[in-house]
Structure 1
Amino acid sequence: MHSDPVQPRSIQRLASVIRLLPEKREEYLRLHADPWPEVMATLKRVGVSNYSIFLHGDLLFSYLEFSGDSWKDAQAEIARDPHTQAWWAQTDPCQTPVQGALPGEWWSAMKPVFLLE
């Protein structure tokens, strides 16, 4: 009897941008030099991998890969995590949405325009 091979989950590549407040730059960089293991574990548990944040001037660019079933559900699970809530209480005051952000949007989603695999 032949069974079908397990199909790998598709990976979503997600990028977003936010502005770093200049007066909070050193604090933000210090926090991210030693991220909390509990926060990292939550991200991994929901299917986040290859997560990077880059800095250009006062813009933070985030890139991650998501391999779960629903990014919306994963975001909700991340937001329920008490360690992540405490992390955000420290990192959010360092940031402000970019010009043109949608109402209520914190990190603004970026549209993919090119991919080389």
Structure 2
Amino acid sequence: MKRYALALDLHNDAQLIAEYEELHRNVAPEIEQSITGSGITRMDIYRFADRLFMIMEANDDFSFTDKAAADAANPHVKVWEQLTWRFQKAIPGAKPGEKWVVMDKIFELSSDERSDG
């Protein structure tokens, strides 16, 4: 299993942010299928003000390149991406046209909760 953290910004407009959140309460089955069909097993999106943070888990066969190619060939995803770009803006440091930016992991803490006794 692979885990990714990604970031993206929204336009800092309360009405647009509310509309964006509403869109994500009613994601079309075709969009959900494009996500799970690519090998993504879990996706959570969090928001603070106009900043979005996504945690994505995928199987070991997942590839961003393959996902992008599949999305480019999927008319439902193309419409979704055009619709959501109305609300989104590139995060500082993103490449031109880049939406979600993969973040680098800089720290990890885990604990083993098993008891020896």
TM-score by length of 2: 0.81
Unaligned 5+ segments in structure 2 are: 112-117
Q: Does 1:79 align with 2:72?
A: yes
Q: Which amino acid aligns with 1:16?
A: L
Give 3-state SS (helix, strand or coil) of 1:35's partner.
coil
Q: 1:103 & 1:34 partners in 2: Cα distance?
A: 29
Partner of 1:99: 92
1:36–1:100 CA distance, 2 compared to 1 (3 A): same
1:49–1:81 CA distance, 2 compared to 1 (3 A): same
- Percent of residue pairs bearing the same amino acid type: 30
1:79–1:15 CA distance, 2 compared to 1 (3 A): farther
Partner of 2:107: 114
Q: Deviations over 1:70-107 (max 9, x none)?
A: 33112221232111111112111100011122344222
Using the TM superposition, give the Cα deviation of residue 69 of structure 1 relative to its aligned residue in structure 2, in angstroms. Answer: 4.7
Q: Does 1:18 align with 2:11?
A: no
Moved over 4 A (4+): none
TM-score by length of 1: 0.81
Is the 8 Å Cα contact of residues 6 and 100 (structure 2) preserved in structure 1?
yes
Is the 8 Å Cα contact of residues 19 and 96 (structure 1) preserved in structure 2?
yes
Q: Which moved more, 1:45-54 or 1:71-80?
A: 71-80
Higher helix share: 1
Give the RMSD, CA atoms, in angstroms: 1.7
